[in-house]
A and B are shown apart, each in its own frame.
Chain A
Amino acid sequence: MSTPLFVRSVSLKVRLTLALSLAFLLIFLDHRLGAMQPMRMFLNSLVSPVQYLAVMPEQALDNFISQVQSRRALIRENDLLKEEMLSLQGKMQRYEFLMLENERLRTLLASDAREDRLRMVAEVIAVDSDPFSHQVVVNKGTRHGVFIGQPVIDAQGVIGQVASVGVTTARVILISDQSHAIPTRAAESGIRVIAQGVGDTSILELMHVPHSTELQEGDLLLTSGLGGVFPEGYPVARIQTIVRDESLPFARVRAVPVANLDRIRMLLLLWDADSDHQPIRPEQEADET
């Protein structure tokens, strides 16, 4: 095969113009019109092998570590877990009692009883290296019944919501993303406030808080359930600082997310018990619901 020194079948400028106009068309469609949402599902499924390949070394390392872990370390961990389980079971008894009581009281008040939620464990398979968007990819998709807007939590608190789904993967937008805001309510005072992400995994900013607010540093914020996306009562963040600068229209309130958003590995997808979307478990039938 000959390799000519100068090859120009189509001029470079034409190619650049073509690429750029395509790119700007895509940006327009995706950003302005949001028209790429159905396309994204297909594209996400297309690139999911790359994401599965990317986590393989880490998973192999994890496997290796758990294989070579010493017997004693395992026994210790086992003891620790048993202890933890005992204390959790103790709490659980209390919870069951309270739940029954709550249900009774709610029937007395003639309001709807609250349904328990369905959960599914998902594992994070990719974290975005793009600092402008806080998203993680998890190993569950439409095949498992995941839907757009689904709330996602972990053992500590709210993580975020599902932004787009593929067949075997879903993209979760974190509450710290700069385009995400979550309606919350202070656990004690009951003040409703919206917590907005600012692009830093350890900070949420509370919007439109008047200077005269009763919120205090250290207050826990729970989901209020008002937006219709997140169910009520899950911990979101704890207020860290309140700056009452009278020259600004509102007090500057910063809160720290309860969940460690920068090191999530396992998380829980939530389903409403009575909604159209239901979890699909291909291999095992309802083990934890």
Chain B
Amino acid sequence: MISRLMVQRFVIFITVLFSLILAVMPMTITLAAWRPEWPLIAMIYWIIALPHRVNIISAFLVGLAVDILLGSTLGFHAAAYAVVCYPAARHYPRIRNFSLSQQALLVALLVLLARGMVFMLEHYLNNAPFMLHYFWPALSSAIFWPWIFLIFRKIRRRFQMK
């Protein structure tokens, strides 16, 4: 029998891989500006649901993958993801008891924080100009959160991941 642990790891890996694919999928410019921060949403879900499987180091690694995929300076997204996932990992029992809308609000805040951090790094190290539309995904991520949450919960229950 394949160990449950392996199955769990595999399922988590597949969902995260899928979120990374969505993060780089080509889109028209107007839609792309609203693209939710898929990898971060996936990481936030797994950290809240399975804090003993997925933690800050995994968030760091996913952030690093995002850095490579987007071609930004290595470490920008990695640092931002690690920082943003800290409150989620710290307070996961409380967040689990939030309503979906409260969770969505929290996700918006976390995405905003992550984007703010990446922007700061880009601004001080690479002279990036301020672009308001860089922060729109905080909103779209919050809008998509309830659906992501329900889909992921279904997946988690299907594979009896605890």
Q: Which residues of A contact B (CB under 8 A)?
A: 1, 3-5, 7, 12, 15-16, 18-20, 22-27, 29-31, 36, 40, 43-44, 46-47, 50-51, 53-55, 57-58, 124, 126-133, 135, 137, 163-164, 171, 178-179, 198-199, 262
How many angstroms from the CA of A27 to the CA of B60 in the assembled complex?
13
A163 cross-chain contacts in B, Cβ below 8 A? 71
Do residues B129 and A199 form an inter-chain contact, with CB atoms below 8 A? Answer: yes
How many angstroms from the CA of A20 to the CA of B80 in the assembled complex?
9
Do residues B89 and A27 form an inter-chain contact, with CB atoms below 8 A? Answer: no
A168 to chain B, nearest CB (A): 15
For window 21-70 of B, CB contacts with A under 8 Å fall at 21-27, 29, 32-33, 35, 51-52, 55-57, 59-60, 63-65, 68-70
Contacts A7-B52, A19-B57; A199 near B78 (Cβ below 8 A) = no
With contacts A50-B21, A58-B25, A126-B69 known, what are 15 further pairs, Cβ within 8 A? A1-B162, A7-B51, A12-B90, A20-B83, A23-B78, A27-B73, A50-B20, A51-B69, A53-B21, A54-B22, A128-B70, A130-B70, A130-B71, A131-B134, A178-B129
Do residues A58 and B74 form an inter-chain contact, with CB atoms below 8 A? Answer: no
B56 to chain A, nearest CB (A): 4
Number of A-B contacts (CB under 8 A): 137
How many angstroms from the CA of A174 to the CA of B87 in the assembled complex?
37
> Can you list 22 A-B pairs, Cβ within 8 angstroms, ordered by A?
A1-B162, A15-B57, A16-B82, A19-B59, A19-B82, A20-B79, A22-B75, A23-B75, A27-B73, A27-B125, A29-B74, A31-B125, A54-B24, A58-B26, A126-B69, A129-B70, A131-B133, A132-B72, A132-B118, A133-B70, A133-B72, A199-B129
B127 cross-chain contacts in A, Cβ below 8 A? 178
A133 cross-chain contacts in B, Cβ below 8 A? 70-72
B135 to chain A, nearest CB (A): 11
Do residues A44 and B68 form an inter-chain contact, with CB atoms below 8 A? Answer: yes
A36 cross-chain contacts in B, Cβ below 8 A? 74
Q: Which residues of B contact A (CB under 8 A)?
A: 4, 17, 20-27, 29, 32-33, 35, 51-52, 55-57, 59-60, 63-65, 68-76, 78-79, 82-83, 86, 89-90, 93, 118-119, 121-122, 125-129, 131, 133-134, 162
Do residues A26 and B134 form an inter-chain contact, with CB atoms below 8 A? Answer: no
B89 cross-chain contacts in A, Cβ below 8 A? 12
B17 cross-chain contacts in A, Cβ below 8 A? 50
A130 cross-chain contacts in B, Cβ below 8 A? 70-72
How many angstroms from the CA of A262 to the CA of B72 in the assembled complex?
19
